[in-house]
Structure 1
Amino acid sequence: MENIVSPKHLTQLSDSWVLWFEVSNQYLVISKSLKELVDIFLDSENEDDFHSQLRSSSDLSKHDSHTYYTEISELLRTVNRSPENELPKTSNLPHSEETDFKATYGFGNISIAVNYGSLAIQNLIHPQWAHATVLDGEIPSIVFDVLQKDHHLYLFRNQTYIGHYAVTDYHLLQGQFALQLINSLYNKSESDWIATFHASTVCNDKEAIMIIGDSGNGKSTLAAVLMANGLDVLADDFSPLSAKNQELYRFPSGISVKEGAFSTLKPMFQDFDQFPIYTSSSKPVIIKYIPPMADFAEAPSHFPCQKIVMVNYDANAVSEMKAIKLEQVLETLIPESWLSPLTSNSRLFLDWIKEVSCYELTYSDNGIAVSQFKKLFDS
């Protein structure tokens, strides 16, 4: 088929298949029955051949066959389109310069300085790292510049251009900055990561459990509650998975909690009232960042993760934890995360994810949620 390429990787789950397409770095989760139709489509020379093969195994009308053919064709063409990358001319790049908005952050023996082009740009990144601020002193290990020119935000690392993003897509800048930060902390490059998941992760001294959920479902608040009850927050909202060992790594940002959770969390953290108040960059809501309790320089940096919990806070629900199918988790996990475009890393992701056990926690009672997580760590 013209412009249509078969998936590079295929992995069978319990009731479905996951297909990965290299050119677009897209994953499709499809049913077994649709997988059979896709196989016939890819094996067919044209629509008549497709219809003929279907008729040999099922009593399907020409009209229905045409509908299947058209829909599968459009689906596969979509996942075989290369993403468009706008590359700026070097002459159009803004020049790095000292600004009035500069901060230096300390992580053990690594110090990272960031020059922000304006207060508005600083407010996109600084709040979640404010707890790690140190006084200017020694020459920083790494220097980032985050600048604006016209309607784009530009990111530089040690004066090397990293990328640029429309001001309206500032979340892409935030994600790339986070990726460059963990590269700096662990002396790695983008190719060393299988994925960075939009998920919070908690751990004990042996393993990690990843927490996922739609925005507003309480995953960061739950992570803070679990930390107050003796667990370690390995990462909040940004959980990086290494290609070397397929383990999740520590991301030492503050834990973002919304105003609605302040009254719940205040009794759990002695200095809660002293934590600065910010306005979220994505929504007009008040938030605070709770500093991680673990010392980045001394705490273990990575743990294996073989359990994912999808959480949903519902004040009127009966709290319960139950096992769910991986397919349900992938519907949330894949669209919300950055997944490496490298063929080898995609294979590692599929090999890792199919061994993960998945659960759903609906909760209204924090005490029950804590006990369920501790029970899950012990299982």
Structure 2
Amino acid sequence: MNKVVVKKIEDKEIVWFKNSNSYLVLEPIAAAILLKINKNNSLEEIKTWAFKKITAPKKVVKKFIEDIFLLYTVNNTLKKEVQNNSGTYKIPTKYYSEKYYSIHNCIFKIQFQTGFHLLKIHPIFAHLETESQNKFHFNYTIFDDKDFIVFFKNDAFIGKWNKNETHLFEGKLSMHLIIDIYKKPETDWMGVFHASAISNKKESLLFLGDSGNGKSTSLALLNANGFDCIADDFVPIDNKKNMYTYPAAMSIKKKSLKTLLPVYPELKNAVEYHFKKMNKTVRYLPPKNINYHLKLKCKALVFIKYNIEVELEINSISKIDAFQQLIPDSWISPLEKNVSVFLEWFLELPCYQLTYSNNLKMIETVTKIFNNDL
């Protein structure tokens, strides 16, 4: 069984390591050596081959090959995972809060043991809250066990996370929501991207960029100008390359209020949340026209950035630059078949850098991308 997958990207090679589910961009000669290692070629066989291919002193070539061997070994050493036994946890009988949410014809009951748990999850789904129900489809239970957050679903243990890894817990809970909303197991999802996504009802665009670059503000402006919001911050794509709606509210930072209040006056009275650890203050804006039946292909990746000094600039960027920006904030399925789909999906998409301060021109440019008018 292959322990690596290699795919050409411009003049480089993308290498995926199965056991660590990690990616590297390498020079072709390094990738070729990795493939030989993966085929169980001996060190001596590889050296004989490399001496003919690499113009360098033999001492340098030997060291290079040894470094590649080490890289291969490190990335294909399985990490020992702590075995979590659900029998060791006693599910609480009392909770700080119990909330019910109506999402795509399903009722979710979520039990929060503490106010901290409630603050991490409830605000982005508050617009989906419904009255207490005698019947529900899914019961999510969140509680503390010493230094860990524990997550159960329908009395089945899902996992536990150290309290300084709450983002991993939030990611797992979000993954289970899309599994339950769309009735598709985790094995059917290609990946989830820390991004925003919009559609023109026929195709979608994925907006990427560091936190604070303006993804959510751009999404909100586009949502107010005829485009549908697919997702903000958590964009799921299945292994058929279809993008799905994730119904969380858009996270609007304080600095964006001046721009958005004229088109979303409801933000003026929206509850403000302060997250000290992340040093941010936000309000939440429910997306317009949530449509759970959309299954859209992605037309392009757009790395977006608000810059007061730039009215509007859009340029194609290299696949290598795009890949290195995309991977760190993404969850990609660890299954080899899904990895292959992901790499095909990425390599067939155009990639742009869009920098702007003029909102109208940004909206016009996005329209041009959809209409192939760039």
TM-score where L is the length of structure 2: 0.93
For 1:101, the equivalent position in structure 2 comes to 97
1:197 corresponds, among 166, 171, 193, to: 193
CA contact (8 A) 2:254 2:281 kept: yes
Aligned match for 1:119, one of 115, 118, 121: 115
- SS of 1:225 mapped into structure 2: helix
Q: Aligned residue for 2:325?
A: 332
**One of 8, 15, 28 as aligned partner of 1:12:** 8
Which of 149, 173, 176 aligns to 2:172? It is 176
Tell me if 1:255 matches 2:232.
no
CA contact (8 A) 1:94 1:149 kept: no
Name the amino acid aligned to 1:201.
A
Are positions 1:274 and 2:269 aligned together? yes
Deviates more, 1:125-134 or 1:35-44: 35-44
Match runs of 1:37-116 below 5 Å? 37-39=33-35, 45-46=42-43, 49-116=45-112
Cα contact 1:113–1:140 (8 A) shared by 2? yes
**Percentage identity across aligned positions?**
26
Task: Give the 3-state SS of the residue equivalent to 1:316 in structure 2.
Answer: coil
Shift of 1:180: 0.6
Match of 2:352 in 1: 359
- Per-residue deviation at 1:282? 5.0
Partner of 1:317: 310
Please tell me the residue identity of whatever aligns with 1:185.
Answer: I
Instruction: From the superposition, tell whether residues 167 and 129 of structure 1 become closer, same or farther in structure 2 (CA, over 3 Å).
Output: same
Count of residue pairs the alignment pairs up: 371
Tell me the alpha carbon deviations over residues 269-294 of structure 1, each in whole angstroms, 9 at most, x when there is no partner.
02111221112375021011110111
Residues 40, 53 of structure 1: 8 Å contact kept? no
Partners of 2:51 and 2:318 lie apart in 1 by: 33
1:290 counterpart = 2:285? yes
Q: Find out whether 1:153 has 2:166 as its counterpart.
A: no
Q: Which residue of 2 aligns with 1:25?
A: 21
In structure 2, the CA distance between the partners of 1:77 and 1:215, relative to structure 1 (3 Å rule), is farther
- Note if contact 1:6-1:21 (Cα within 8 Å) is conserved in structure 2: no
What are the superposed Cα offsets for residues 278-311 of structure 1, whole Å, 9 maximum, x if unpaired?
A: 1237502101111011144xx5332111311011
Q: 1:304 to 1:169 in 2, by over 3 A?
A: same
Q: Does the CA-based 8 Å contact 1:94-1:148 persist in structure 2?
A: no
Per-residue CA deviations over 1:195-216 (Å, capped at 9, x if unaligned) read 1111111101100100111222
Output the CA distance in 2 between the equivalents of 1:65 and 1:295: 57
Q: Which has the higher mean CA deviation after the structures are superposed, 309-318 or 157-166?
A: 309-318
Distance apart, 1:59 and its partner CA? 3.3
- Change in Cα spacing, 1:369 to 1:231, as seen in structure 2 (3 Å) is same
Q: What residue identity is the alignment partner of 2:357?
A: S
Q: Secondary structure at the match of 1:247?
A: coil
1:142 and 1:42 mapped to 2: Cα distance? 43
Partners in 2 of 1:348 and 1:87 — Cα distance? Answer: 30
Work out the CA distance in 1 between the residues paired with 2:192 and 2:104.
22
Given the superposition, is the C-alpha separation of residues 352 and 283 from structure 1 closer, same or farther in structure 2, using an over 3 Å criterion?
A: same
Residues 1:10 and 1:39: Cα distance change in structure 2 (over 3 Å)? closer
CA pair 7-17 structure 1, distance change in 2 beyond 3 A: farther
Counterparts of 2:159 and 2:55, CA distance in 1: 53
Which moved further from structure 2: 103-112 or 368-377? 103-112
Counterpart pick for 1:216 among 212, 219, 235: 212
Contact 1:211 1:310 in 2 (8 A): yes
- Mapped to 2, the partners of 1:332 and 1:342 lie a distance apart of 22
> Is residue 41–residue 69 contact of structure 1 (8 Å, CA) maintained in 2?
no
Deviation at 1:50, TM superposition (A): 4.2
Alignment partner, residue 341 of structure 2: 348
Provide structure 2 residue ranges, at least 5 long, that are not aligned to the other structure.
none
Q: Distance in 2 between matches of 1:149 and 1:313?
A: 42
Find the residue that maps to 1:262 and give its secondary structure: helix
The aligned residue for residue 239 of structure 1 is 235
Q: CA deviation at 1:32?
A: 2.7
Q: RMSD of the TM alignment (CA)?
A: 2.0
- Distance in 1 separating the partners of 2:79 and 2:359: 42
